[in-house]
A and B are shown apart, each in its own frame.
Chain A
């Protein structure tokens, strides 16, 4: 993993996600506001490409923290934890898929988003003061998370294609064939 280019890319993703990326958001739907999680696309790409599990977990933590810091939730930290868990899950199952297949990218992005955002919504709801907490609101946010997962998964092939173009700047060449995940066990 090349950490300096990675941090620059995280910064760019964050900028896009909080400004121009909002052009991709649908503000008024039956499920509430629905938009993609562009950082999740980068995390899934790394989960498909990185061989070292520890590198992946640290990268996922950084991405999750970046999202936490730019989202007005009840706490900073839940998304960092959720991204690490979701990245570990994708790392576990990735050997069962052909990662160049679009269907595999879409499916894994959806799994990642459902896990990460499901966890985030749950933790944030638990941390919300009881006056503002309700099952109705929790259910609505879960539905939003589901819509976000589908939307992000739909954008995953495009993101994967774009990130493949700059893969050599992000990931150092790795010798030998991949034999599954290392370092997370």
Chain B
């Protein structure tokens, strides 16, 4: 009773402030644990809120789209009819090819060692965003119990289930971010556009026969100008970083590499993601004011991060598991 009598508001406040100082000093590891403790409490209702947010954003984007004139509508209808014809033809061709491929795979499975993407793709759903706009983070409804670990990559793909094995899995996919913290039931994802996001990447230039572009190549100390073609089009290794404003930037790229808007930016293979996945497209190339022979590149993310909902965490499997199981779908 005397102890309770001594607990005043001022003492409580002093204790709370002291607690804040301690947790501040403890830094990121303690913060991550505390944040993961709160996540399960918020998750059920956040899921509904996030569904509403994403749906409203998609509807607003659709409503904000510019209307078409009658002529444009007619032109689009005609194009659509033509495309339908092509689709029917290619569907038939694809079915034929698939049959041949199945037969070949059956043969390969019987007589060769298993080769597959050594990754497990864990489906997850975005259930919340960070409270404040300083960080570009999302919360996932999958945590360590579901297989998500800090450092793993997060992808978004246009297929929600029945993913085929192999590189085709990610052919229509885009990198969304990286898992920075994971509790038992939830994980935090740092988006590719976050201030602190950095990754090794590659620029893949897309040659356009209609608009040939000149690049400078150096071999055995001699520099020469050539037209970009499939033979000399080597990927450019770069470091991509989030700009905190919905995009990424790449610095220190040689002006002579002649990177242009529309070129692809893909991941460089690492131990967590042993394959190439699209990060975004070059949006703008501007000269570096500090280095006249270099350029700074602005990249627009491939995935629409504002309406992000269903994603996949890439869980890299140990080699012995991937060999014995043939990878997981």
Q: Which residues of chain A are within 8 angstroms of B245 by Cβ–Cβ distance?
A: 27-33
* Interface contact A71-B130, CB-CB below 8 Å: yes
**Which of A15, A27, A144, A183 interacts with B246 by CB under 8 Å?**
A27
Q: Which of A47-105 contact B (CB under 8 A)?
A: 52, 54-55, 57-58, 61, 64-78, 80-81, 84
With both chains docked as a complex, state the minimum distance between the C-beta of A1 and any C-beta of chain B, in angstroms.
10
* Interface contact B21-A77, CB-CB below 8 Å: yes
Assembled-state Cα–Cα distance A175/B50 (Å): 43
- Which of the segments B41-49, B92-100, B102-110, B201-209 contacts the partner chain? B41-49
* Interface contact A75-B35, CB-CB below 8 Å: no
**Which of A15, A72, A145 interacts with B180 by CB under 8 Å?**
A72
Assembled-state Cα–Cα distance A28/B137 (Å): 15
**Which of A19, A76, A144 interacts with B31 by CB under 8 Å?**
A76
Q: Is A39 located at the chain interface by the 8 A CB criterion?
A: yes
Q: Is A8 located at the chain interface by the 8 A CB criterion?
A: no
**Which of A32, A121, A124 interacts with B244 by CB under 8 Å?**
A32
**Which of A20, A74, A144 interacts with B133 by CB under 8 Å?**
A144
What is the chain A residue whose CB lies nearest that of B22?
Answer: A77
* Interface contact B306-A14, CB-CB below 8 Å: no
* Interface contact B53-A22, CB-CB below 8 Å: yes
Q: Is A16 located at the chain interface by the 8 A CB criterion?
A: yes
A15-B46, A132-B196 known; A71+B132 contact, CB < 8 A: yes
What is the chain A residue whose CB lies nearest that of B190?
Answer: A72
Q: Which residues of chain A are within 8 angstroms of B188 by Cβ–Cβ distance?
A: 72
* Interface contact B131-A39, CB-CB below 8 Å: yes
**Which of B9, B28, B53, B133 interacts with A75 by CB under 8 Å?**
B28
What is the chain B residue whose CB lies nearest that of A76?
Answer: B31
* Interface contact A72-B130, CB-CB below 8 Å: yes
- Which of the segments B10-18, B113-121, B222-230 contacts the partner chain? B10-18
With both chains docked as a complex, state the minimum distance between the C-beta of B127 and any C-beta of chain A, in angstroms.
8
A contact residues, total (Cβ < 8 Å): 60
* Interface contact A127-B27, CB-CB below 8 Å: yes
Q: Which of B269-305 contact A (CB under 8 A)?
A: none
Assembled-state Cα–Cα distance A32/B132 (Å): 12
Q: Is B267 located at the chain interface by the 8 A CB criterion?
A: no
* Interface contact A75-B31, CB-CB below 8 Å: yes
Assembled-state Cα–Cα distance A76/B131 (Å): 13
With both chains docked as a complex, state the minimum distance between the C-beta of A8 and any C-beta of chain B, in angstroms.
12
Q: Is B329 located at the chain interface by the 8 A CB criterion?
A: no
* Interface contact B133-A34, CB-CB below 8 Å: yes
Q: Is B200 located at the chain interface by the 8 A CB criterion?
A: no
* Interface contact A70-B56, CB-CB below 8 Å: no
With both chains docked as a complex, state the minimum distance between the C-beta of A73 and any C-beta of chain B, in angstroms.
7
Assembled-state Cα–Cα distance A108/B65 (Å): 39
A19-B49, A141-B134 known; A70+B13 contact, CB < 8 A: no
Q: Which residues of chain B are within 8 angstroms of A140 by Cβ–Cβ distance?
A: 195, 244
Q: Is A9 located at the chain interface by the 8 A CB criterion?
A: no
Q: Which residues of chain A are within 8 angstroms of B78 by Cβ–Cβ distance?
A: none
Q: Which residues of chain A are within 8 angstroms of B143 by Cβ–Cβ distance?
A: none
With both chains docked as a complex, state the minimum distance between the C-beta of B185 and any C-beta of chain A, in angstroms.
15
Complex A-B: 26 CB contacts under 8 Å:
A15-B42, A19-B46, A19-B50, A19-B53, A19-B129, A23-B57, A28-B246, A28-B247, A32-B243, A33-B136, A34-B133, A54-B9, A58-B16, A61-B13, A72-B137, A72-B181, A74-B31, A75-B30, A75-B31, A80-B20, A127-B24, A127-B27, A137-B195, A141-B134, A141-B195, A183-B10
Binding site for B on A (CB under 8 A): 11, 14-20, 22-23, 25, 27-35, 37, 39, 52, 54-55, 57-58, 61, 64-78, 80-81, 84, 117, 121, 123-124, 127-128, 132, 137, 140-141, 144-145, 148, 183
Given contacts A14-B42, A15-B42, A78-B24, 10 further A-B contacts (CB under 8 A): A19-B128, A28-B247, A58-B12, A70-B35, A70-B128, A71-B132, A72-B181, A77-B20, A144-B134, A145-B134
